[in-house]
Structure 1
Amino acid sequence: VIGIMGIEMAGGVYCPLSPRDPQHRLYALTQQTQSRLVLLHHLTKVKFYLNIVVLDIDSILNISNMDNKVNNNCFSSVKVKGKEIAYIIFTSGSTGTPKAVQVRHKNFIDCIHSFIYINLFNKNDTVIQIARCSFDIHVQEILGTLLAGGTLVMLHQGGNIDFDYLAKVFENKQITYITAVPSILHIFFTSIQQNKNMKAVKYLRSLCGGGE
C-alpha cells in the first residue's frame, strides 16, 4: 500500500508484478514497460535479475534519521494531469503475449466517483482487500477505498482462500463491502452457510461480483 501510494504521489506509473510469476516473465514485463525501478521486499528479492535496478522498501521503512522537517499535511507537491498514465496492468497472456493496458488518472478517478455516486462504497465502509495484484481490481480496493475515505483491511498471505480465517476477519473487522469474482464469493458464502456462521457477514451492506 505504501509503495503504491508513494509511486502515485511522486507522479510515477504503477505497474504491479506478481511474485507468483516465473522469473523470465517478470523480466519480460519489466523490459516491455521500460521500468526504471522495481520496488521489492525481502521475500521478492530473488525474483529479479541482477541487471535490473531494484529498491528494497524494507530498507526505506527502517530508516531512523528521517527529515523531521517533512510536512505531513502535504506529502507531495507533484501535480499530475488526468491524461497521464496512473498505472499499467498486464493481461493474462492466455491468447499469446501479455498486453500492457494503460489506465489514465482521469479514467480511474471517474470510475471511483461513479462507484461512490451509486453508493457501492463510501467513507463509512470497511473494505477487505481480496484481489491479487495481477488483477486490476486490487487498485480499486486499495486506492479507491482510501480516496473515498473508507477503512482498508489487508489479509495475510493466502488469506483470500482461507475461508475460516476470512470469516473471522469479516466479523472481527466488521467488513461492510467486498468485491470479488463469483467463484470466490460462491465458495465463501457456501462455507459460512455450511458452518452456520452467517453472523460473520452481519455487517456486510454492499457486494460487487464480476470477472471470470
Structure 2
Amino acid sequence: MNSPLGDGAPPAPSGTADRIDTRFAGVAARAAARTAACDADGTLTYGELDRLADEIAHHLDDRTGPGRLVALRAARSRYAPGAVLGILRSGAAYLPVDPNYPQARQEYLLGDSGTELVLSDSGLLADETPIAEVGPFVLASRSTSRADGSAAPQLPADTAYVIYTSGSTGNPKGCMVGHAQVLALMDAAVPLLGTGADDVWTLFHSLSFDFSVWELWGPLLYGGRLVVVDREAATDPLEFARLLAARNVTVLNQVPSAFGNLVAEAVAEQVRLPDLRRVVFGGEALVPADVQRWWAAGIAPDALLVNMYGITETTVHVTYCPLTPETLAGAVPGRTPIGRPLPHLTVTLRDAEGRPVPAGEPGEMCVGGTGVSHGYLERPDLTAARFVDAGDGSGRYYRSGDWAVADGEGLLHYAGRQDGQVKLRGFRIELGEIESALRALPGVSGAACLVTLDGHGDQALTAYVVADPGTVRAAAVRTALAERLPGHMVPQHVRHLDRLPVTPHGKLDRAALAA
C-alpha cells in the first residue's frame, strides 16, 4: 500500500549491519513524529521510542554485549518495545520473562540461561540488585550461580532473542534466534500481506511467545502503529473486540483458540470491524468452523484471513495460506490448509528415516532456509537431533515433529503432531478428529477433547464444549458423534464450559482443562 516512508523494508543505515534495531532507527529518523506505540494510558512517537531505546542501551554499555543475554520482565505497555530495542541496541539479546509466570518458572529461565542482568517494570526477585532506573524500568544485576556451577553461556553474536519452549519430556529449552532470521521473515512475509505505514497492528501476545516478534516488527519496521493490548483486555474477548473497533485496527494476529472466543463475543454483541484488512492465524491448528462463523456474521467484510503455520525454531512463520470458502470447503476433518512455504524457506515432507515421502503421503515437515534458528541454548545433543544437515549441500533443516500432506497442487495441509495420537483401549485415536466433529455440531462454538481418568482410575475420553447446556445436551452430543465417529472415538463424558481456557500466550490451556 502507499506509504510516506517508501515501499519495502527500510534499509539499514549506511555502514551498519542489517539488524532489527538499526532498521528501526532508520524508520525513526524519517518519521520521528509519527505515533509508534500506544496503550490504554498514552502514546509514544517513533522519536520517543528511539530515545527510550538509546537511554536503555546507554545504561547497558560496558555491562553486556554481543553473545550475552539480558532478561526482560515487562508488562504489556507502550514502553515494552523500547525495552526490547534498547537491549538489542546494546548488542545483547533479550530473554523475555513473563511477569505473570510463577516465580519458580521465572527462576528456572533465569538460572538455566545464566542471565546476569534483568530489565524490569514488574518488580524484582530476591536475588536481583537494582543498578539504575531508566524510564519505567529498573535495571538490576543478579547472581549467576548456576546449579552446575558453570559460567554464563556465550551465544552466537547475531542472536536477537532466546525464547523458551516447553519440553515434551522434561524442562523448557531455550531457542536462539538471530537478527538475520527475523529480518528474513519480515522481508518475505510483509510484502505478501501488503501492509505498511498506514496499518495499525495489535501486540496481543506475551513477549514470551514468539508470535509477539511478528506483532512487534510488522508495524515498527515499516512506520505503522502498534496498539499494545493489556492483559485484562486480552483475556476478555468482548473488551478486546471493542478495542479493535475503537483503535481502528487493520492487522490482527490470533491463535485459533483466542479467535474462537473473539468470534463468539463479536457475533453475540454484533460487533463490526470495518477497518480490519488482515487477520493472521498462527500457533495452533486452524478451526474452520470459527472462520466460517466470522464470514457469515460479516464482522469484517474487507478482511483477508491468512493461515500461517509456524515454529519457534524456524522464526515464527513458515507457510502462507489465504483462506477462502472454497479452501475450507475442501478441507478434510483433522487436516487444515496451511498453504505454501514463505519465499525464504523450504518445506519437505519426510518419513522417520529422513527420506522424502511420495506425493499425497503424510510426512514430517522439515523446514530449511534462512529462517532456521541457531538451535537450542546449551543443548548440543538436542540441537543435533532436531537441526539436521540435509547432506546435499542445501544446509540444515529443522525436524518439526508436525505432520502434513501435500495435495496435487503442492499445497500443504496440516495433519497434527507426530506425537498427537493417543492410545485408548488398544485403539489409536487422533483427538483433533473428535474436536473437529464436536465443532461441527449446531450450537457448539468451541470444543476440546482430552483423555481423563474416572473415579476408578480408568482412562476415558472427555469432551469440553462451549454451548448452552439447555439446548446442547450431553446425551445429544454423544448421539450425534456416534453417527459420525466409530464407537471408540465417542467421548464417555461431555462437560459444558462458558469459554475454553487459554494460556498467557493465547493457546488452548489443556492443563487447565485436565484440572
2:260 aligns with 186
CA deviation string 1:23-61 (max 9, x = no partner): 2221221122221201112x332xx232x35556xx311
Equivalent position to 1:210, from 282, 294, 315: 282
Q: Which amino acid aligns with 1:203?
A: D
2:102 aligns with 22
2:135 aligns with 61
Equivalent position to 2:227, from 132, 139, 153: 153
Q: Which amino acid aligns with 2:120?
A: L
CA deviation string 1:192-212 (max 9, x = no partner): 111112x2x111110111213
Asked if structure 1 preserves the Cα contact closer than 8 Å seen for 2:190 and 2:218, the reply is no
What are the residue-to-residue correspondences of 1:43-192 with 2, within 5 Å?
A: 43-45=122-124, 48-50=125-127, 52-54=128-130, 59-61=133-135, 84-119=158-193, 121-192=195-266
C-alpha change, 1:12 and 1:144, in structure 2 (3 Å) is: farther
In the aligned structure 2, how far is the partner of 1:132 from the partner of 1:4?
Answer: 13
1:79 aligns with none
C-alpha change, 1:55 and 1:38, in structure 2 (3 Å) is: farther
Q: Measure how far apart 1:92 and its partner are.
A: 2.4
TM-score (norm 1): 0.80
Say whether residues 1:32 and 2:106 are aligned partners. no
SS in 1 for 2:163: strand
| Structure 1: tracts of 5 or more residues without a match | 64-81
Bigger shift: residues 16-25 or 101-110: 16-25
Q: Measure how far apart 1:2 and its partner are.
A: 1.7
Q: Which amino acid aligns with 2:276?
A: L
2:82 aligns with 2
Q: Measure how far apart 1:62 and its partner are.
A: 6.7
C-alpha change, 1:24 and 1:126, in structure 2 (3 Å) is: same
Q: Which amino acid aligns with 1:205?
A: R
Q: Which amino acid aligns with 1:17?
A: V
Q: Measure how far apart 1:6 and its partner are.
A: 0.7
Say whether residues 1:13 and 2:87 are aligned partners. no
2:292 aligns with none
SS in 1 for 2:221: helix
Asked if structure 2 preserves the Cα contact closer than 8 Å seen for 1:182 and 1:209, the reply is yes
> In percent, how many aligned pairs have the same letter?
27
1:70 aligns with none
Asked if structure 1 preserves the Cα contact closer than 8 Å seen for 2:256 and 2:282, the reply is yes
Flag the structure with more relative contact order, 1 or 2, with Cα contacts below 8 A and sequence separation at least 6. Answer: 1
Asked if structure 1 preserves the Cα contact closer than 8 Å seen for 2:219 and 2:225, the reply is yes
Q: Measure how far apart 1:158 and its partner are.
A: 2.1
C-alpha change, 1:97 and 1:55, in structure 2 (3 Å) is: farther
C-alpha change, 1:55 and 1:88, in structure 2 (3 Å) is: farther
1:78 aligns with none
Q: Which runs of 4+ in 1 moved over 4 A?
A: 53-56
In the aligned structure 2, how far is the partner of 1:156 from the partner of 1:202?
Answer: 23
SS in 2 for 1:15: strand
In the aligned structure 2, how far is the partner of 1:53 from the partner of 1:91?
Answer: 28
Q: Which amino acid aligns with 1:8?
A: L
How many residues matched?
186
CA deviation string 1:137-164 (max 9, x = no partner): 1122113320122100012232112122
Superposed CA RMSD: 2.1
C-alpha change, 1:185 and 1:206, in structure 2 (3 Å) is: same
Larger radius of gyration: 2
SS in 2 for 1:153: strand
TM-score (norm 2): 0.34
Larger strand percent: 2
Q: Which amino acid aligns with 1:2?
A: G
C-alpha change, 1:137 and 1:193, in structure 2 (3 Å) is: same
SS in 2 for 1:148: coil
C-alpha change, 1:53 and 1:139, in structure 2 (3 Å) is: farther
CA deviation string 1:120-177 (max 9, x = no partner): 5322210011112221111221133201221000122321121222122111110000
In the aligned structure 1, how far is the partner of 2:277 from the partner of 2:261?
Answer: 19
Asked if structure 1 preserves the Cα contact closer than 8 Å seen for 2:201 and 2:224, the reply is yes
